[in-house]
């Protein structure tokens, strides 16, 4: 049985915690489960993107609870989620102390301006790039920024789902 076949047929109560470990939005997880079965992984990814891009602000904020600030270690996450977050933010961990300090300051500015943490699809991006993107986003109005956050969350969720369905092939 393929991983997707298992996903399509498993009880929602068993899958929901796994989905929430990928993106901590109950609305997203419930809607993904409600749309099963998926014909292929691409259909699942497309549905996930659509759901994330349509999330209301409270659901976006719920999803952000599963993400540490850029440049900070994950706390309060399970071991697997914390390790995944560290891999995604690898560009920040190798940054020099001045860039890390500037990121911490810019994170505070962002949170004061928008009332939520700065979320960015960090995988494969350098610390300088992440910092420049944050500074550029500080100029957004709140509605535009919420749309940007949804887009970044969709990218992150897509990467995590892809990883789940490509690394676990043959596990079942």
CA gap 141, 87 in Å, rounded:
30
pLDDT of residue 172: 38
pTM for the model stands at 0.86
CATH of domain 3-167: 1.10.3330.10
Q: Does pLDDT of 1 surpass 90?
A: no
CA gap 97, 127 in Å, rounded:
11
Q: What is the pLDDT of residues 85-131, one digit of tens each?
A: 556 655 566 778 898 899 999 999 999 999 999 999 988 888 899 99
Q: Does pLDDT of 37 surpass 70?
A: yes
CA gap 146, 136 in Å, rounded:
14
Q: What is the pLDDT of residues 38-96, one digit of tens each?
A: 999 999 999 999 999 999 999 999 999 878 777 666 555 566 655 655 566 555 667 78
Nearest to 92 by CA among 136, 132, 131: 131
Q: What is the pLDDT of residues 6-32, one digit of tens each?
A: 999 999 999 999 999 999 999 999 999
Q: Within its chain, how far is the Cα of 137 from the centroid?
A: 18
Residue ranges of domains in the chain? 3-167
CA gap 34, 171 in Å, rounded:
24
């Amino acid at each position: 049985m393929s991983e997707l076949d298992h996903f399509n047929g498993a009880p929602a109560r068993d899958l929901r915690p796994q989905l929430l470990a990928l993106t901590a939005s109950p609305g997203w997880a419930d809607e993904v489960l409600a749309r099963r079965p998926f014909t292929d992984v691409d259909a699942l990814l497309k549905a996930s993107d659509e759901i994330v891009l349509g999330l209301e602000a409270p659901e976006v904020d719920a999803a952000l609870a599963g993400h540490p600030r850029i440049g900070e270690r994950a706390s309060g996450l399970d071991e697997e989620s914390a390790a995944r977050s560290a891999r995604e933010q690898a560009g920040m961990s190798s940054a020099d102390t001045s860039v890390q300090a500037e990121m911490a300051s810019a994170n505070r500015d962002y949170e004061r301006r928008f009332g939520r943490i700065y979320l960015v699809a960090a995988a494969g991006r350098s610390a300088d790039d992440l910092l420049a993107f944050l500074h550029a986003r500080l100029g957004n109005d709140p509605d535009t920024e919420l749309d940007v956050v949804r887009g970044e969350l969709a990218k992150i969720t897509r990467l995590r789902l892809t990883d789940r369905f490509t690394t676990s092939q043959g596990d079942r």
